[in-house]
Chains A and B, each alone.
Chain A
């Protein structure tokens, strides 16, 4: 049984930084189809990001001017459905 942490979400990390990191990941999956890329980006984030960073990204996607690239945004929306 895994231990659990309460994730507050929102502004526990630098929001602009999290957006930039997500965009950096998304840029690497440009050779793949939109759907496959979104899943791969979301999987990478789940695999390597600390939950408060993911929460920050999910928080950021609510903002229409988030600065997220289309594929990063699609990945963020996928992650939002998992939270």
Chain B
């Protein structure tokens, strides 16, 4: 067995040490209690024939192929459902068993198309394999009887086909949808001979509730559910283990190829983050990497009014270096800067910040975390001492109460959502704090104990009120707080004030008093309570305060430092954690160490051979302001579309247009690149060689499936720019060497190397001599900063309020099928699910404005206006509207404001006062916002 075809143990592993010893076919085997006989046999190298079982699903016992004989037991029990027992003696092969299995296979094959040689699953079909294993040589029943061979194929899903004629009704797909994904979109309809797999209520896969995660395709033992790419291209012949380049879950995948052609992405069973599961993006939406829109040669122009011309790398690099130095000569060393990307590897980010600090000679480096989780970094560092989540994803399986705030994981972090739903089905309680009724409030077999639909912008008031309830009702964990925290009396006095009571918060948030109190009591009494949160927490003018308020709540109740608890940010992009770790913020060197720390700076100064600035540099919004003011003139942007993703688009465009030099490194001509002087082609994740760090601090390898299509790795290009600027010392032989430098300079990464990752799979930082295999749970015996700091978190309302002119509040987010600004997913078949951004609006808010479902409407704020189609949604509360930002033409950020988090300047995307009006026929003829043309 290799990576291409992994060993299937038949049933899931059971936790615990091996304690039960039994004998299988004469061999002694010792396994954990509760293990199935099938898995015990597989552990001993004995694969019992099977069809309905697989080790990602609980045993089902329907196919009757895995029968065994057990000494002292009558009959032939199924080994998949039979638990091991001490001293048990099992026989997996006998004349009797062979006859039974052959008979079962005869029945299956009598109703199965015999087109193996032309079947897309040829070579990857368990039915085919089992026919061989049981020695099937004839089918006594013939093939002329009643059968299902004429059933129509469902090709409605863009990524996989469903050929019911090949289905053996083993229910693996149905169970995968239930147990692994938790969507319950599939069922077995009919009875007896009429039994068939059916999406939802007899609909096509595309029209059903199916979320295209691929779990059913993965589980199918035949060619019934088959990737279209395999149908088109054939079976892959090699595999490369790598990491998904979409969200912050960081799923491990096997990239399965024929030569250099990617056939399919298959989730890796031993991936620490995903353990064999996937979502529609990672599993299927990889076509952008070979899309014809890819920029593969450097593009250059002197002026924005010129057309781009293709040039060779040498010309592009020397142009960039020369212009950057000219700008600095004229306007000063601080007149240029750069932005690193959360979509690139740790190694690529590290060299970008080195180029800026050592070659540019300033700290004007920032990253797209500025507009998403920078408050997480600030808030958790202030309270706990380090800028990262506290747990691994597996920890949620030990949670009794889950407090989900400002996150919609079924859309944004779907693979983690499946873990969460599994735990909720087992009985954990859920509290959802979100203005919208997100799917997790009520979905199949999941219902939140409390949904707290607070008004946008009032998070801190809600969190303070929960803490107030806990403290004033004597639910605080006084022992934990006394031993592990500081500023206790000050915080208790603050939080006990009447202004922080549930009664006061109810007026501010709109959430009923009793719901706030009941949610607080539930969280306080867990016993294991875990907080998971997203951008609905951070993208507010009080984002950092809210992060600290959540940390306060966890500390006050002792929900920190063990499995099943903690404060856990659900990070947006694949390497946003890593980009922050690698020193992308203008005030921090790698490892979150402030630039003013002489000892830390000297580590890098000695290694890099330059003096480094001790003061912070400009943040992204500061760069825009300085560009408009004229003191910032040159910007390098790696893999981020700031012209689409950042707030107040008009201001961003004004800033970018004012630059003397804008250099963009990206896969495509995005909205930012349309304003660039130089476009440097970037590499896709299939070409990269390095590491990503996910939201649980897990460092995963990204391995190349092919050489860079652009001819150079991104880290090579960065080094060459630095060299062309006169900083000759910046040279590396490989990305592994860059990681070695990171490990040598950054204590939390001290033990990390490609060699270690290749050996153990992945590690979670801190990874150092004290924790050579990483740290799944942080702050176990003490906080990173020593004592946890309880910080008073005053509720300060946002200045963005609804008014008579703008009476509604707009909040923004993302959808399952699309990712961020859509640059990748819009170039895949995922557009079938979401081809435009729409404005979700409560039917009553629409009715009073004369708006019908699907009408074109004008969305206006004090900043700007754009046009969208209205979509009625009763998941929206009255007075609040919602849209996504995946399409440049809809331009959601045309209306968002310059308000930002007080501590980090993370934009307040989640609160914009707006008005919505029906567009007239004349207005409808011209869009309020248009994509920039190239060269604008």
Closest to B541 in A: A24
Q: Please tell me which one of the listed residues B610, B622, B905 contacts residue A13 in the complex, with CB atoms under 8 A apart.
A: B622
CB <8 Å contact, A28 and B629: no
CB <8 Å contact, A48 and B616: yes
| B617, CB-defined interface residue at 8 Å | yes
Residues of B within 8 A of A8 (CB): 332, 631
Q: How far is the CA of A48 from the CA of B601 in the complex (A)?
A: 16
Q: Please tell me which one of the listed residues B333, B586, B594, B610 contacts residue A5 in the complex, with CB atoms under 8 A apart.
A: B333
- Distance in angstroms from B381 CB to nearest chain A CB is 11
| B545, CB-defined interface residue at 8 Å | yes
CB <8 Å contact, A53 and B622: yes
Interface residues in A1-44 (C-beta closer than 8 Å to B): 1-6, 8, 11-14, 17, 21, 24-25, 27-31, 44
Given A3-B611, A25-B903: A50 touches B334 (CB 8 Å cut-off):
yes
CB <8 Å contact, B622 and A2: no
Q: How far is the CA of A9 from the CA of B594 in the complex (A)?
A: 24
Residues of A within 8 A of B815 (CB): none
| B359, CB-defined interface residue at 8 Å | no
CB <8 Å contact, A50 and B622: yes
CB <8 Å contact, B796 and A5: no
Interface residues in B601-660 (C-beta closer than 8 Å to A): 601, 610-619, 622, 625-626, 628-631
CB <8 Å contact, B614 and A2: yes
Closest to B618 in A: A50
- Distance in angstroms from A17 CB to nearest chain B CB is 5
Q: How far is the CA of A21 from the CA of B900 in the complex (A)?
A: 9
CB <8 Å contact, B612 and A13: no
CB <8 Å contact, A52 and B545: no
Given A5-B334, A28-B794, A31-B494: A48 touches B587 (CB 8 Å cut-off):
yes
Main secondary structure, interface of A, reads loop
Interface residues in B469-520 (C-beta closer than 8 Å to A): 494
Residues of A within 8 A of B333 (CB): 5
Residues of A within 8 A of B615 (CB): 5, 50-51
Residues of A within 8 A of B364 (CB): 50
CB <8 Å contact, B902 and A27: yes
Q: Please tell me which one of the listed residues A6, A30, A49 contacts residue B616 in the complex, with CB atoms under 8 A apart.
A: A49
Closest to B792 in A: A31
CB <8 Å contact, B541 and A3: no
Q: Please tell me which one of the listed residues B612, B794, B796 contacts residue A3 in the complex, with CB atoms under 8 A apart.
A: B612
CB <8 Å contact, B611 and A1: yes
CB <8 Å contact, A14 and B625: yes
Q: How far is the CA of A6 from the CA of B211 in the complex (A)?
A: 56
| B361, CB-defined interface residue at 8 Å | yes
| B817, CB-defined interface residue at 8 Å | no
CB <8 Å contact, B903 and A31: no
- Distance in angstroms from B657 CB to nearest chain A CB is 16
Interface residues in B545-598 (C-beta closer than 8 Å to A): 545, 586-587, 594, 596, 598
Residues of B within 8 A of A53 (CB): 618, 622
CB <8 Å contact, A52 and B611: no
CB <8 Å contact, B612 and A12: no
CB <8 Å contact, B334 and A21: no
Q: Please tell me which one of the listed residues B362, B596, B616, B905 contacts residue A21 in the complex, with CB atoms under 8 A apart.
A: B905
CB <8 Å contact, A27 and B611: no
Residues of B within 8 A of A1 (CB): 611
CB <8 Å contact, A11 and B612: no
- Distance in angstroms from B362 CB to nearest chain A CB is 7
Interface residues in B333-351 (C-beta closer than 8 Å to A): 333-334
CB <8 Å contact, A28 and B631: no
Q: Please tell me which one of the listed residues B541, B628, B794 contacts residue A30 in the complex, with CB atoms under 8 A apart.
A: B794
Residues of A within 8 A of B796 (CB): 27-28, 30
Given A2-B601, A5-B362, A47-B616: A11 touches B629 (CB 8 Å cut-off):
yes
Q: How far is the CA of A82 from the CA of B905 in the complex (A)?
A: 24
- Distance in angstroms from A78 CB to nearest chain B CB is 17
CB <8 Å contact, A31 and B794: yes
Given A47-B587, A48-B587: A3 touches B494 (CB 8 Å cut-off):
no
- Distance in angstroms from B160 CB to nearest chain A CB is 49
Residues of A within 8 A of B625 (CB): 13-14, 17
Q: Please tell me which one of the listed residues B614, B628, B902 contacts residue A25 in the complex, with CB atoms under 8 A apart.
A: B902
Residues of A within 8 A of B587 (CB): 47-48
Residues of B within 8 A of A14 (CB): 625, 628-629
Q: Please tell me which one of the listed residues A4, A13, A30, A49 contacts residue B629 in the complex, with CB atoms under 8 A apart.
A: A13
Residues of B within 8 A of A48 (CB): 587, 616, 903-904
Q: How far is the CA of A8 from the CA of B362 in the complex (A)?
A: 16
Closest to A1 in B: B611
- Distance in angstroms from A51 CB to nearest chain B CB is 5
Residues of B within 8 A of A21 (CB): 900, 902, 905
Residues of A within 8 A of B898 (CB): 17
Residues of A within 8 A of B613 (CB): 2-5
Residues of A within 8 A of B361 (CB): 3
Residues of B within 8 A of A2 (CB): 598, 601, 611-614
Residues of A within 8 A of B612 (CB): 2-3
CB <8 Å contact, A12 and B626: yes
Residues of B within 8 A of A17 (CB): 625, 898
Closest to B611 in A: A3
Given A3-B611, A5-B613: A24 touches B626 (CB 8 Å cut-off):
no
CB <8 Å contact, A47 and B541: no
Residues of A within 8 A of B541 (CB): 24
Q: How far is the CA of A79 from the CA of B614 in the complex (A)?
A: 17
CB <8 Å contact, B631 and A52: yes
CB <8 Å contact, A6 and B332: yes
Closest to B586 in A: A50
Residues of A within 8 A of B905 (CB): 21
Closest to B905 in A: A21
Closest to A28 in B: B902
Q: How far is the CA of A72 from the CA of B618 in the complex (A)?
A: 20
Residues of B within 8 A of A11 (CB): 629
Per-residue 0/1 for B317-345: is the Cβ within 8 Å of any A Cβ (1 yes, 0 no)?
Answer: 00000000000000011100000000000
Q: How far is the CA of A1 from the CA of B596 in the complex (A)?
A: 11
- Distance in angstroms from B491 CB to nearest chain A CB is 10
Residues of A within 8 A of B622 (CB): 13, 50, 53
Residues of A within 8 A of B903 (CB): 25, 28, 44, 48
Q: Please tell me which one of the listed residues A4, A5, A47, A52 contacts residue B626 in the complex, with CB atoms under 8 A apart.
A: A52
- Distance in angstroms from A55 CB to nearest chain B CB is 11
Closest to A27 in B: B796
Q: How far is the CA of A44 from the CA of B622 in the complex (A)?
A: 16
- Distance in angstroms from B595 CB to nearest chain A CB is 9
Tell me the A residues contacting B by CB distance below 8 Å. Answer: 1-6, 8, 11-14, 17, 21, 24-25, 27-31, 44, 47-53
- Report 26 cross-chain contacts, Cβ distance below 8 Å, ordered by A residue: A1-B611, A2-B598, A2-B611, A2-B614, A3-B361, A3-B611, A4-B613, A5-B332, A5-B333, A5-B334, A5-B615, A11-B629, A12-B626, A13-B629, A13-B631, A21-B905, A28-B903, A29-B794, A47-B587, A48-B587, A48-B616, A50-B334, A50-B363, A50-B586, A50-B616, A50-B619
Other A-B pairs beyond A5-B613, A31-B792, 13, CB < 8 Å: A2-B598, A5-B362, A12-B630, A12-B631, A13-B622, A13-B629, A28-B545, A28-B796, A30-B794, A48-B903, A49-B616, A50-B334, A51-B615
The 6 A-B pairs at the shortest CB distance, nearest first, are namely A2-B614, A12-B631, A3-B611, A24-B902, A14-B625, A50-B618
